Amino acid sequence: MITSRHSIFLDEVERYLGYRPSTVRTYTDTTNFFAIDRGDILSLHGGNYLIIGTMRERGFGLDDEPKHWVKHAIECETGSHKIIKLVFLEHFMMRLGDTTVRCFRSPAKEARVLGCVQRHPQFMKGFGVRDATGNDVRVIDFISGPDLSSYLLDGASTHEAYFYERMPMILWRLLPCLEALHFLHEVHERHGDVRAGHVLVDQQTGLFRWIDFDYDFDNREAPFSLDILGAGDLIALIVGRGIIEAGRIEREPALAGMLDRLTPDDLSVVNRGRLMNLGKAYPYIPESLNRILLHFSSGAEVFYESMAELIDDLREAVSQLFRG
């Protein structure tokens, strides 16, 4: 619903978008997020935000797909860049071994978490606000920087060079990020969608920072399990300098012949196409580090029950890497 068409924001449109329209559409109801487009104004609880674009998906093979419910905006009063997340509801089922877990988007949960992490440096910052019809809108400070997957591809050309030159410091910088998840769990919240696309490397501070925590899931017996499993995938991604699956093994000369040596126990308990026993691929990976990854493999007899346990093991393994 368009609340009004008027000319009070003409200067802002001209300043930031380079043209001067005759009128500007202003919305206070965000229900039809497809209709809200570049050059429109969102008026939310006293703040006015000029839409300058639509954000795009990263990961899941959907790179560059528009996320029409997520807008890039400029706060008219300050000129600062914001991400405006509108209400988009979806759900899907995820299989974890013999268990099926229902996952779903919860804008209200993300707004609640934003309130919990206002002073925590490892999280995106923002606030939740309800529009004129009660939709849970989130206004997020824009973070400039690559996601973790892109960041890993910089620098050294071979995996071995990367492993010794860059990887220990990257794992060390990941530790505060995992401690941030532990903080969430201590206040009975969770991220809900832990993956590399949701860790941004802040260009201003160098910090690894969590974004996008609007997913939630139903799993009362293990309420933090998906966050912990996602953390295991992150560690494997960093150690392997990307996901190691059959296609990569076939393409990478250093991994020639490895497919014949793999067993089902070497693969991820969540995604049976991904290798977790990375010591088989790269024998220079220390046992203490590879042992952490094996906790997330199909052959694991013991899994991590808390983020604190994983953090303790990773801190010790990374310390050993620095000690040489």
Identify the band that residue 8 occupies on the pLDDT scale cut at 50, 70 and 90. confident
**By C-alpha distance, which of 131, 122, 161, 151 is closest to 49?**
131
Report how far residue 244's alpha carbon sits from residue 290's, in angstroms, rounded to the nearest whole number. 14
What is the number of other CB atoms lying within 10 angstroms of the CB of residue 237? 19
Kindly report the pTM of this predicted structure: 0.93
- Class in CATH terms, 148-323: mainly alpha
Which residue type does 186 have?
E
Burial level of 245, CB count in 10 A (0-12/13-18/19+)? middle
Tell me the pLDDT of the chain averaged across its residues: 93
**By C-alpha distance, which of 221, 223, 198 is closest to 208?**
198
Four-way CATH pick for 4-86: 2.30.29, 2.40.10, 2.30.30, 1.10.3470: 2.30.30
**99, β-bridge pairs:** 96
Report how far residue 210's alpha carbon sits from residue 91's, in angstroms, rounded to the nearest whole number. 21
Tens digit of each residue's pLDDT (9 = 90 or more) over 109-148? 999 999 999 999 999 999 999 999 999 999 999 999 999 9
* Domain extent listing, the chain: 4-86, 148-323
**By C-alpha distance, which of 125, 306, 256 is closest to 202?**
125
Identify the band that residue 45 occupies on the pLDDT scale cut at 50, 70 and 90. confident
Report how far residue 179's alpha carbon sits from residue 122's, in angstroms, rounded to the nearest whole number. 9
